Structures are given as structure tokens and as C-alpha cells.
Amino acid sequence: MTAIRTGRWTAARDDPYVVFIIGMRFNKPWKVHRWLPVFLAMPRMIGELEKKPELGFLGAQTWFSRTTLMVQYWRSFDALEAYAKSRDASHLPAWAAFNRAVGANGDVGIYHETYRIEPGAYENIYANMPPTLFGRVGSLVDANAPNNSARERMSRRGR
């Protein structure tokens, strides 16, 4: 378990980055043979990405329930898209397997959202938390002046 960082912290990144939110929903939980391969595909992809930082993956955090949620951080949209389309990576075979096994039958749902983030267009605060979400991939700095308020954090350009 990651240690709690006491006090107030904020995370920053000098360069633009991409937030990619992805997940799945167990629409018919009893159909394990449909959702388990989908569920197991993501850890393989994350393992592949963590071993190859040159692909542009910065990190991720996952939550599990009937609908899973993973928030990923990428160096750029181009890096994310290149991975998604690469014939040498795990994503395309997993996507093809999903379409063959599930397609539009409704047993398993999947979703994703992609956001380009520019410096000065976001803010965050972490108080008495272990590094979480962007705090795991950005540079953590003390959230005192000039990072004391949400408005100050939102308007910063780089650090």
C-alpha cells in the first residue's frame, strides 16, 4: 500500500497530456465466459505499457464494481492512438476478441472517454492521501502559495 502524504499537495505537469477513462459493465454477471476475457485483457495491456514507457503511457488507477472504471494518463493523444492501432501490441487482438465473443449481444458493456489537457486548464488537491489519480503521474508540490486556491492552481502554466 502506498504511504499517505500528510498535508496538502497538488500535482502538475509542464506539458499537455491526455486523460483516458475506460471501463466495462457486467450486464449479465452470470455469463462469466463472456466478461472474464474482457476483464482479463486490461491487466495484460497495462503490464505491456508499463514495460515500454516509450509508448507514452504515464499511469493508471482502477476501481471495481459492476461497472469498472480505469483512469489512464498518456503523454499525448497520438501516443494513445498509436498504441490502440498497433499490430504489435495487445490492444488490437483484445478488441477483435471482444467483437467476436460479445459484439452487440449486450452481455458486456464497454466505454471510454478521452480528454486532452493543457497546462493551466486543470487543478487538483490531495489532502492526507496517498498519491492518487493524477497525483500518481504528475509532479507533486506543496499546495501552499502560489498553489493555495483552486483558482491559483487552475491558472498556473507549468510549475
**How far is it, in rounded angstroms, from Cα 133 to Cα 128?**
14
Q: Above pLDDT 70, what percent of the chain?
A: 97
DSSP strand E in 13-155: where? 17-26, 57-63, 69-74, 108-117, 126-129, 139-142
What are the CA-CA distances from residue 128 to residues 60, 135, 140, 143 (Å)?
A: 20, 12, 13, 12
User: How do the domains of the chain map onto residue ranges?
Assistant: 5-13+118-155, 17-116
pLDDT band of residue 119 (cuts 50, 70, 90) is: confident
**Could you give the 3-state DSSP secondary structure of residue 40?**
helix
pLDDT band of residue 158 (cuts 50, 70, 90) is: very low
pLDDT computed for residue 59 by the predictor:
96
CA angle 142–143–149, rounded 5-degree value? 165
Architecture of the domain whose range is 17-116: 2-Layer Sandwich (3.30)
With left for phi above 0 and alpha for psi between -120 and 50, is residue 7 left, alpha or beta? Answer: left
Write out pLDDT tens, residues 25-34. 999 999 999 8
pLDDT computed for residue 157 by the predictor:
55
Is the pTM of the predicted complex or chain greater than 0.75?
Answer: yes
Write out pLDDT tens, residues 54-86. 999 999 999 999 999 999 999 999 999 999 999
CA angle 133–12–74, rounded 5-degree value? 55
Task: Over range 21-50, report the average pLDDT.
Answer: 94
pLDDT computed for residue 159 by the predictor:
45
